Amino acid sequence: MTKLRVEFFLFNAFLFAGLCAQISGLLVRGLRKEIANGMQANQPGVVVRTTSKMISTFQPLISNALKKQIPQMSFGDIVQPFLHGHVNISSMKLKRFKAQDRFDCRLEEEPVPRIRVTLAGLDADIASNLSVSSRLIQLHSPLDLWAKNLSVDLAMMLDNDNPNATLKLSVPECKASIGFTDFRIHNAGKYGPFIPLFRKQIINHINGGISSLICSQVKTLVDKQLNAYFNTLPVQYPLMNINSTSDDLGSALGALFSFPGMKMDQAQREKVLSNLMLNMSLITKPNIKSSYIDTFHSGAVCWKTGGVSALQAKPMNLSSYNSERMLNIFISDYVLNSLLFLMFRDNLVYLGFDPNKVDGFKDLLKVPCDAEFCLGAVVPEFKTKYPKHQAWLTYQPNNAPGVLIDSNGVHLLTDGILTLYATSKRKMYRLLVVLVDLSVDISLRMKNGQIFGEAVIEDLDTQVLKHKMAFDESRFSILTGFTKLILQQSLNDLLRRGFKLPNLGGFQLHNPNLRTVQNGLLIETDMQMGEEMLQKMTGHILSAKH
């Protein structure tokens, strides 16, 4: 009985394992095993590391922007309890303002990861209205306030739970202090002789009110305005902007969709390219260290209409990379593989063409052919057996093309079926079926903000699966060698066109450097942010009414 139970258990275990394997296979059907190995759930496709150098470099720009924008801020009212009633200071306007002597922004890991911001040395002369309502005093008068050496110290924390998966800031800690405060009541009336008796108490109330107001304003700016600004930022960025310049369609990506045999005309190609997007939504909470902030993005290539990639990213070991540049952008091979898988899934890598007309290959693939080394020489009976037919070649990938990336470069893998047909208006004959397995090593470099590459075909394996007529194996072997050379040249022509990185939010890369690392690309760069963009950002945040 026990033996039967064990056998029954093992049978069900194997059945369940087989079912899981089938389900898993269905989810990633068409994905090569080499590409799938190491994929894990909840891994980012793109990691953006903002270093302390970038923060310190942009501090003067942000400080200058604050100096211009703070005087334009609107203020709320100060309401404080006073003598069994309350004091209300309203309609506050800056008459004179001295900007901060010090603006400091730094990253802290302890006691909790956060961004520490300090402003110190601000002075302000404020005109306002005073209203005192209590059992002892009923007073309404214009009021002048002088506050000197104001300082604000706040801690901000980063999260990713904004509605559209962009950054979200919160202010769990804010402290404001005032070095010196004084005031003048214009129309104290009968209460004038008593004001000196309460001056210290009034100043304490004013200090408390201004400090509370400052922190309240800061939290409002962050919670509502800065996070609202983050929400205006897109999470999908076009891989190509075909409306900007004609160079985009001439780039490597544009050339990829112009590869011989792709069944797209110019209008269809432009439509496809304009709808390809890079998903930069945040997938987990940012990580703050003392020298950098890491933000973790999806990195999936998708259509503008949305959708979820069936692929997953592989983990990248980021802890070992230290850079003195402002920004490090880690791009997982998931980004490229999700693009290639999308093309495979939507049947965009299926090729069909007349071998006598395809640019770059027509001398080699000509059928029929009287030359010594061409496809027609491999199937010499085509001319006699199918004199009124035209040759037609198709290439159907068995799996999605994929890339593996390590410190030695990018390795492209693809396999598929190449088929030669004899076609007429009435009939199509399948004459030759060849299994093709291609392996390409690609080295990458950056120049003028574009990525360029050089390809070397490491292996081009061919296996004849079927032939319906006389077949010259020796010539086919030589033809394969020539094809390898010409295909390598075509790939290099494509890679020499370069690829422009998507414009991510108006920042400009300055002297970027590209290198390959395990499972991804690393772009190390400094950044430039134009004055117009900075004014737009700070203006949106600080000019809003509160």
Residue with tokens 């007529």: 469
Using CA atoms, how far apart are residues 165 and 156, in angstroms rounded to an integer? Answer: 18
- Whether the CB-CB separation of 277 and 503 falls below 8 Å is answered with no
Using CA atoms, how far apart are residues 440 and 498, in angstroms rounded to an integer? Answer: 18
The kind and range of the H/E element at 59 are helix 52-69
CATH 3.15.20.10 fits 350-500, yes or no: yes
Domain boundaries, the chain: 52-234, 350-500
DSSP of 400-416: --EEEEETTEEEEEEEE
Q: How far is CA 153 from the centre of its chain?
A: 31
pLDDT in tens, the chain (546 residues): 454 454 445 445 544 444 444 434 344 788 999 999 999 999 999 999 999 998 888 788 778 777 777 777 777 788 878 778 888 888 888 888 888 888 899 999 888 899 999 989 999 899 999 898 888 788 899 999 999 999 999 999 988 776 678 888 889 999 999 999 999 999 888 888 888 887 888 888 888 888 888 888 888 878 777 788 788 888 888 887 655 444 444 566 777 777 777 777 778 888 888 888 999 999 999 999 999 999 999 999 999 887 778 899 999 888 778 788 999 999 999 999 999 999 999 888 888 888 888 777 878 888 888 887 888 889 988 988 998 899 999 999 999 999 999 999 999 999 999 999 999 988 899 999 999 999 999 999 998 878 899 999 999 999 999 888 888 888 899 889 988 998 899 889 888 888 877 665 566 788 889 999 999 999 999 887 655 565 555 555 555 444
Question: Can you give the pTM of this predicted structure?
Answer: 0.83
Using CA atoms, how far apart are residues 451 and 515, in angstroms rounded to an integer? Answer: 11
**Predicted pLDDT of residue 251:** 65
Taking only Cα atoms into account, the Rg of the chain, rounded to an integer number of angstroms, comes to 34
Structure tokens at 455: 């390809």
CA angle 174, 168, 500 (to 5 degrees): 130
Using CA atoms, how far apart are residues 332 and 47, in angstroms rounded to an integer? Answer: 8
- Provide CB contacts within 8 A for 303, sequence distance 6+: 275, 276, 277, 342
**Predicted pLDDT of residue 165:** 81
294: nearest Cα among 318, 317, 313: 318
In 186-243 the beta strands, taken as DSSP E runs, fall at 236-238
Q: Render the burial of 195-219: b for 16+ CB within 10 Å, e for the rest.
A: eeeeeeebbebbbebbbebbbebbe
Please identify, in words, the CATH class of the domain defined by 52-234. Answer: alpha beta
**Predicted pLDDT of residue 541:** 53
**Predicted pLDDT of residue 21:** 40
